[in-house]
Amino acid sequence: MSKSNKKIQSPQSDSMDDTDGDIDYGSDEGGSDEEGDFDEDEDIEIEIEGEETDGIYDDTDLNRSKNSDFTSLSAEDLINSQQEQVIHCHEVLGVPLGIAGALLRAYAWDKEKLFLDFFDNRDKVIKKANVNLNDYVFHKGDAKKEMTCPVCYDDYNGGLMLSLSCKHFLCRRCMKDYLEVEIKDGPACLHAKCPYPKCNVLVDETLVKDIVDKKHYSTYSKFIARSFVDDNPRIKWCPAPDCGRAVYCPEGITDTVTCTCSCKFCFQCGKESHVPCSCSELVKWLKKEKDESETATWLTANTKDCPKCNRSIEKNGGCNHMTCSLCKYEFCWVCMEDWKDHSSGTGGYYKCNRYKPEELAGRTKETDRETARRELQKYMHYFKRYANHDKSQKLEKQLREKAQDKMKELTQINKYSSWVDVEYIQKAVQTLIDCRGSLKYTYVYGYYLDEGQEKNLFEYLQEDLERVTERLSEILESTPVEQFDRDEIIATTRSAATRLQHLLEGSSNGLVVERK
């Protein structure tokens, strides 16, 4: 099988041909021209629109990760790709479509593993997925007999009654009502079973399509698309609010990816891009931030993320026994550990003594207090700078929209300049946002970096980048557009991008080599 994929989309190239300059980052249009094609047998050439102007940034374009490729998928792409996967599986394995879907879901959409296992031991795979290969259609009752539907208690000709392979008959209307209520209930409808008590026969997707109305089937399809992302380690939702797209990364091992909406995020933890600091450092940092600012309210917060799948779970009763609505993991609200490890020995159902808060107030000795104060000072030093860059980044993100206006204005001022001539502004803004984002996290990285030669060098690079970033920010924010110096902006942009690259490369490869 040949190596797959992919067409790389960067926000810059996306808007190049959008000559009226009116870019709606929130719409699905950006994604609709992408294929979202996962077909492993097909090679899609790397295609970057506007190649000629891209040249000047070739070595510094941070949208393109060197190690791995990724594709941004709109909601529509997701449904299409998901269906393509199902069809491919249906063709290769020779199983009905609905069963192909159930098999893929049982394998967390790992098609290769499914194929290998299926050809190795077909029966085991089928058993694991709880499907019945030979019996997946609705059965009709005996048309010569009268039957009573056990749900509505009405009498019907047997030919109008339906059942799954278990032959538990229901009238068509009740089967429809049953499935529609299941769908209204949420994503668990993907595992809907025969409506008879204790019967475990799975309702096949094709049966759902056959019997429920269009509106409900579309909801059902959305749940399938969601499971396609939620269960699939190679696809992650874009964390930008209201985006709704997901990013596919075939290797599954990369750090920063860029969604069509221009949001950059970490493929490992799903949070906004946080290079150069690592996911675990970020987790530690964010926890610290929380502890410092709201130690008291933290424990009583009403939502927590499921420790297994990260779905946000709301606590709506007194009991600490939580069950995740998505992955069904059962855990303890207080200590976030497996519920299986709990009994009356750990304090019962309302209290849990597995959780032992680190008592800061417990320090009494003078030396300890001094250490604590010094630690806090160090933290505040880094936190202030982190928070500052965060604030600036939020403001500069608004520049992105303003940049469009500025570019439009410039093309109107000078009749001879085309969109390509002013495109440098957009690059400058994007570089500014990227630098700002990374600067923010350099303070997290720096906080956890041990004192020494390496730290000194890192801080030197950080300072250097900070200086150029502030310069770029100043030019873009306070110069009137008609006074824009194209050469200066291009030079500053390039300088900032190069410094950012040095810093990121340095922090990932070690800062031992001297800078040129």
Partner 1 sequence: MSSLPRRIFKETQKLITEPPPGISATPHEDNLRHFKVIITGPATSPYENGIFNLELFLPDNYPMVPPKVRFLTKIYHPNIDRLGRICLDILKDKWSPALQIRTVLLSIQALLSSPNPDDPLANDVAEHWKKDENGAIAKAREWTQTHAK
Binding site for partner 1 (CB under 8 A): 150-154, 168, 170, 174, 177-178, 181, 195-198, 318-319, 344, 348-350
- Using CB under 5 A as the binding rule, whether residue 322 contacts Zn ion is answered as no
| Strands 303-305 and 312-314, sheet pairing | antiparallel
Q: Which has the closest alpha carbon to 107: 267, 201, 3, 227?
A: 227
Which listed option, Zn ion, partner 1, none, makes contact with residue 131 (CB within 5 to 8 Å by class)? none
Phi, psi values for residue 437, rounded to 5°: -60, -45
Q: Which is nearer to partner 1, 60 or 320 (CB)?
A: 320
In which residue are the tokens 């979202």 written?
36
Spatial distance between the Cα atoms of 38 and 362, rounded to a whole number of angstroms: 56
- Using CB under 5 A as the binding rule, whether residue 332 contacts Zn ion is answered as yes
Among the listed residues 92, 106, 133, 269, the single contact to Zn ion using CB under 5 A: 269
- Using CB under 5 A as the binding rule, whether residue 257 contacts Zn ion is answered as no
- Using CB under 5 A as the binding rule, whether residue 237 contacts Zn ion is answered as no
Q: Lay out the site mask for Zn ion across 93-132 (x = CB under 5 A, - = otherwise).
A: ----------------------------------------
Which listed option, partner 1, Zn ion, none, makes contact with residue 147 (CB within 5 to 8 Å by class)? none
Site size for Zn ion (CB under 5 A) = 35
Q: Which has the closest alpha carbon to 454: 515, 513, 511, 516?
A: 511
- Using CB under 5 A as the binding rule, whether residue 349 contacts Zn ion is answered as no
Tokens of 84: 């393509």
Tokens of 76: 């529509």
Crossing angle between the packed helical segments 486-509 and 419-448, to the nearest 10 degrees = 30
Spatial distance between the Cα atoms of 504 and 231, rounded to a whole number of angstroms: 31
- Using CB under 5 A as the binding rule, whether residue 65 contacts Zn ion is answered as no
Among the listed residues 176, 284, 288, 308, the single contact to Zn ion using CB under 5 A: 308
Which listed option, partner 1, Zn ion, none, makes contact with residue 243 (CB within 5 to 8 Å by class)? Zn ion
Touching Zn ion, residues 372-431 (CB under 5 A):
none
Active-site positions read: 319
Which listed option, Zn ion, partner 1, none, makes contact with residue 348 (CB within 5 to 8 Å by class)? partner 1
CB of 352 to partner 1, least distance (A): 12
Tell me the three state secondary structure of residue 303: strand
Q: How many distinct helices (H) and strands (E) make up the chain?
A: 15, 14
In which residue are the tokens 């096949």 written?
204
Q: Which has the closest alpha carbon to 276: 29, 10, 488, 509?
A: 509
Q: How many CA atoms does the CB half-sphere of 327 hold within 13 Å?
A: 16
Residues that bind Zn ion (CB under 5 A): 149, 151-152, 166, 168, 171, 174, 194, 196, 199, 201, 238, 240, 243, 245, 259, 261, 263, 266, 268-269, 279, 306, 308-309, 311, 324, 326-327, 329, 332, 334-335, 352, 354
